[in-house]
């Protein structure tokens, strides 16, 4: 008889802080332990991790931590887990081991208190056989895991693309089936954060055809500045290929990505690379491709610093061509709009690839459908994303033939309990499963200034406005786009939108192109809209205005 519990300490109905627990016959298998960037309701805190109190109480039962990849949302909290759980064993790929070891070395953690092992073949823990297998993703060395017991398999898949990504791995359903050894998939636990994206991820992953024209158009003395997340190495790799094709040197402007690309070049010596130039020469190399990278929460901040002329080595020029390939996660839309706004103040040669044009390496709707259809799991448990997307994933699973009663949507701490792979209960909850505050290398410290800023944001909300403007005629080319968070409701929607649209119309109406200064319009609108909205509903939101000149 097998008793199996599955639950999450983080990663359900949120973006990040992924930490999943499989309890098989009283033995605990931890899968990933990541961080989360707090958005809106956490008063400016830098980073959040899971509460590990439950694991501390049961540390004698822990078999180990099984690490799928080195995305921050999946691995960055491991140093804090090691501070709590002495003697922890971590199983992962060789690439992940190198990066994780480097991350841990930055903390004052005794290396004799943990062990990182590479998983090359199936490992047996009591009667559970654990197999790590290659999957394709935005980083090299990504793994899926299968946990096999007598009655069947528990398959865990996250942050992957179905298909062949060359040096960034291959996800092959036939190879995954071979890992199953002819036994049925009893539980399929699968990344579903992009279940609302139509089609297959791999079809929207490639960017070369969408941005190559900028390389063709650029003059020999014109820089091309590209912004990508440092974890989207496969996307950045396409930029490197284009740079080599058009004989342009590359400057990598981001420490984490620079370290990762150096590691990849050592592991895969057959890959061809463009010429790399030191980042300190960013303002001196006229024809450089400058790859500005950063973590999801840091990239926008880095670009704003550069665009506002506060960066030491890189300053934007009016002649620069800028390409931003970093669609915002839920909750960072305002930061994204601010970043585009600041870049547009320096150069009008700007393009962006949004979430409808570019998919990150997570399974989309058709991928989820195909996996459920082929693997035919008895139970389907979506993970890693907001609640509504996990619900969408269960609907897709049903379309693929799954029994809707066996599609389980959980919340953090909620336990799915199985006896011989028959669902017995979802009533029990693991506590605590809250957030632990991290500031730098410490726990629990928060800047009072940042708290005040975020409290103001959470109280009065934010409104983001964007529109395309004709470069020569200085007239709007499309309808003003109004997005908001924490302020516009059904009751005040009509009133606020009328205030915004009337003021916006006044700025352009009856004026000649020479009389229009977009920067002045942005400043006037910010002040005027704040004042008028405050008079109307007693709230003073942050106003973000983006005017794209084309």
Q: What is the CATH number of the domain that holds 308?
A: 3.40.50.10710
**Alpha carbon distances (Å) from 418 to 26, 128, 145:** 12, 16, 19
368 & 515 share domain: no
pLDDT of 487-499, one tens digit each?
A: 888 888 899 999 9
309 & 238 share domain: yes
Among the candidates 336, 352, 368, a domain finishes at 352
Q: Is residue 453 part of a domain?
A: no
115 & 171 share domain: yes
234 & 96 share domain: no
Which residues, in sequence order, are CB contacts of 382 under 8 Å at separation 6+?
Answer: 190, 191, 192, 195, 389, 390, 393, 394, 397, 407, 409
CATH code, domain carrying 465: 3.10.20.580
Which of 415-438 are b and which e, b meaning 16 or more Cβ less than 10 Å from the residue's Cβ? bbbbeebeeeeeeeebeebebbbb
pLDDT tens per residue across all 550 residues of the chain: 889 999 999 999 888 899 999 999 999 999 999 998 765 444 445 688 999 999 999 999 999 999 999 999 999 999 999 999 999 999 999 999 999 998 999 888 999 999 999 999 999 999 999 999 999 999 999 999 999 999 999 999 999 999 999 989 999 999 999 999 999 999 999 999 999 999 999 999 999 999 999 999 999 999 999 999 989 999 999 999 999 999 999 999 988 888 888 888 877 788 889 999 999 999 999 999 999 998 877 889 899 989 988 888 899 999 999 999 999 877 778 888 889 998 998 998 999 998 888 999 999 999 999 999 999 999 999 999 889 999 999 999 999 999 999 999 999 999 999 999 999 999 999 887 777 767 555 544 444 444 444 555 555 778 888 888 888 888 888 888 888 877 888 888 899 999 999 999 999 888 888 888 888 888 889 889 988 888 888 777 888 888 877 7
- Give pLDDT, residue 445: 41
- Give pLDDT, residue 449: 41
22 & 132 share domain: yes
Of the candidates 296, 298, 276, which has an alpha carbon nearest to the alpha carbon of residue 285? 276
Q: Which two tokens stand for residue 189?
A: 């636990």
- Give pLDDT, residue 43: 45
Phi-psi region of 411 (alpha: psi -120 to 50; beta: other; left: phi over 0): beta
pLDDT of 87-113, one tens digit each?
A: 999 999 999 999 999 899 988 899 999
Kindly report the pTM of this predicted structure. 0.79
Neighbours of 266 (CB within 10 A): 9
DSSP 311-352: -SS----TT-EEEEE-PPPTT-HHHHHHHHHHHHHH-S-EEE
Distance of CA 439 to the CA centre of its chain: 20
Of the candidates 229, 231, 158, 145, which has an alpha carbon nearest to the alpha carbon of residue 193? 158
166 & 36 share domain: yes
Which range marks the domain in which residue 531 is found?
461-549
Distance of CA 411 to the CA centre of its chain: 20
Q: Where are the alpha helices (DSSP H) in 134-291?
A: 173-179, 208-217, 233-245, 255-267
Q: What does the CA dihedral 107, 86, 153, 129 come to, rounded to 10 degrees?
A: 110
Query: Is residue 275 helix, strand or coil?
Result: coil
Among the candidates 298, 318, 352, a domain finishes at 352
Terminal alpha carbon distance of the chain: 66
- Give pLDDT, residue 265: 82
244 & 345 share domain: yes
95 & 143 share domain: yes
Q: Is residue 539 part of a domain?
A: yes
Q: Is residue 126 part of a domain?
A: yes
Q: Is residue 454 part of a domain?
A: no
**How many domains does the chain fold into?**
3
- Give pLDDT, residue 205: 93
The rounded distance, in Å, linking the Cα atoms of 522 and 93 is 50
364 & 320 share domain: no
399 & 475 share domain: no
Q: Is residue 479 part of a domain?
A: yes
435 & 469 share domain: no
250 & 375 share domain: no
- Give pLDDT, residue 39: 59
- Give pLDDT, residue 402: 96
Q: Is residue 118 part of a domain?
A: yes
Contact 474, 516 (CB under 8 A): yes
Q: Is residue 173 part of a domain?
A: yes
β 416-419/47-50 pair status = unpaired
CATH code, domain carrying 139: 3.60.15.10
Among the candidates 352, 368, 401, a domain finishes at 352
Q: Is residue 451 part of a domain?
A: no
């Amino acid at each position: 008889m097998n008793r199996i519990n599955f639950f999450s300490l983080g990663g359900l109905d949120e973006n990040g802080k992924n930490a999943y627990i499989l309890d098989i016959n009283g033995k605990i298998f931890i899968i990933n332990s990541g961080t989360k960037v707090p958005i809106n309701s956490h008063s400016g805190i830098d980073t959040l991790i899971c509460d590990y109190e439950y694991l501390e109480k049961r540390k004698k039962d822990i078999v180990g931590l099984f690490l799928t990849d080195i995305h921050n949302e999946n691995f960055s909290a491991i140093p804090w887990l090691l501070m709590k759980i002495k003697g922890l064993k971590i199983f992962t790929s060789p690439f992940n081991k190198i990066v994780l070891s480097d991350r841990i070395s930055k903390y004052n953690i005794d290396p004799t208190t943990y062990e990182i092992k590479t998983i090359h073949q199936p490992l047996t823990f009591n009667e559970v056989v654990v197999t790590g297998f290659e999957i394709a993703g935005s980083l090299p060395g990504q793994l899926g895991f299968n946990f096999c017991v007598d009655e069947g398999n528990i398959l865990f898949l996250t942050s992957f693309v179905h298909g062949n990504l060359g040096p960034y791995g291959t996800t092959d359903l036939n190879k995954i089936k071979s890992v199953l050894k002819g036994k049925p998939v009893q539980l399929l636990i699968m990344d579903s954060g992009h279940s609302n994206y139509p089609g297959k991820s791999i079809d929207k992953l490639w960017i070369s055809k969408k941005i190559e024209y900028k390389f063709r158009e650029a003059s020999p003395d014109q820089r091309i500045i590209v912004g990508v997340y440092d974890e989207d190495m496969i996307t950045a790799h396409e930029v490197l290929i284009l740079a080599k094709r058009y004989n342009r040197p590359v400057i990598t402007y981001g420490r984490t990505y620079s370290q990762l690309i150096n590691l990849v070049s050592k592991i895969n010596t057959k890959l061809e690379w463009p010429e790399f130039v030191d980042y300190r020469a960013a303002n001196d190399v006229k024809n450089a491709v400058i790859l500005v990278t950063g973590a999801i929460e840091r990239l926008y901040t880095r670009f704003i610093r550069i665009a506002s002329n506060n960066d030491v080595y890189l300053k934007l020029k009016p002649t620069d061509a800028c390409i931003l390939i970093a669609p915002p996660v839920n909750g960072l839309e305002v930061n994204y709009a601010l970043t585009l706004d600041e870049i547009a103040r320096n150069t009008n040669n700007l393009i962006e690839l949004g979430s409808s044009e570019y998919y990150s390496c997570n399974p989309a709707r058709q991928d989820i459908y195909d996996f459920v259809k082929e693997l035919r799991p008895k139970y389907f448990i979506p993970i890693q994303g907001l609640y509504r997307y996990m619900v969408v994933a269960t609907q897709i699973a049903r379309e693929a033939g799954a029994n809707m009663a066996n599609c389980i949507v959980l919340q953090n701490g909620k336990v799915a309990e199985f006896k011989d792979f028959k669902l017995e209960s979802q009533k029990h909850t693991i506590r605590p499963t809250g957030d632990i505050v991290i500031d730098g290398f410490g726990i629990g410290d928060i800047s009072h200034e940042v708290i005040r800023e975020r409290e103001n944001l959470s109280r009065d909300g934010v409104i983001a406005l964007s529109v395309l403007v004709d470069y020569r005629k200085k007239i709007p080319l499309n309808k003003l786009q109004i997005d908001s968070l924490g302020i516009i409701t059904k009751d005040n929607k009509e009133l606020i939108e009328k205030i915004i649209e009337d003021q916006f119309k006044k700025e352009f109406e009856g004026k000649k192109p020479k009389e229009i200064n977009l920067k002045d319009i942005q400043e006037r609108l910010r002040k005027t809209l704040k004042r008028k909205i405050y008079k109307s509903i007693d709230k003073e939101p942050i106003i973000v205005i983006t005017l794209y000149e084309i």
